[in-house]
Amino acid sequence: MAENLKQRFDLTGKVAVVTGASKGIGEAIARGLGEFGATVVVSSRRIEAVQSVADQLTSAGVQASAEAAHMGDMEQARTLVDKVVARHGGVDIIVNNAATNPVFGPMMNADESVFQKIMAVNVQGPLELCKRAVPIMRSRGGGSIINIASVGGLNPERMLGLYSVSKSALISLTKVMAKEWGGMGIRANAICPGLIKTKFSQALWQNDQVLKQALAMAPISRIGMPQDLAGLAVFLASEASTYCTGGVFVADGGLTV
């Protein structure tokens, strides 16, 4: 372990996989990890989208590559790890950022297929991806798993009930990962963003009433930006956080205080 604090943030030699990295939070985290030296694999459903991100990161001096994978397809989630190992020789950091929310409204209006889709992408996919990666991480001396949950997983959000349920499950899954895999040197932590200005949350921050209410309630009265999550992710991925596992880190401008 590096003694110098600055050195403990260095990710040189580490291979990081970031799902849902074609834009928004995933892209910002991938860029941050790369800036601190990690080789970054950006992944999303469409190869064209993540290849564009990988090209931009490469142009900025980051070692990056792209792999397509749909996190709602368990075989694709598992195969993603195999592709990363084949190309880069291993995996040390996983950021489970890919998520879906195909319904906005009361749970009563959602049918069974909607619930299954949300849980598959937001919970089961991350689990299968990590299960495949754990033996590889263990063989490399350990690793870091960062699950991007939501403040909705702590306090269910109106009209986002099923999404909130899935993020609550992801937080619980993070804690189980931490307990079961800690002895292998593998840490697992969750980040719970508040309202972040991304395409995913566009329906919320473009709603003047929702935005006004959020800004009025939060001590830091501005909407969050994707890059606001990058520093926290770098910390959790690095040796600077080696005593942190099973943690739930909130980044919401103080909204839930």
Task: Give the residue numbers marked as catalytic.
Answer: 163
Tokens of 143: 């690793």
How many H helices and E strands in the chain? Answer: 10, 7
To the nearest 10 degrees (0 to 180), the angle between helices 112-119 and 161-181 is 30
Nearest 5°: phi and psi at 194?
Answer: -90, -140
Instruction: Provide the b/e sequence for 24-62 (b: ≥16 CB within 10 Å).
Output: bbbbbbbbbbbbbbbbbbbbbbeeebbbbbbeebeeeeb
Nearest 5°: phi and psi at 216?
Answer: -70, -30
* Strands (E) located in 64-138: 64-68, 93-96
Q: How far, in Å, CA of 118 to CA of 122, rounded?
A: 6
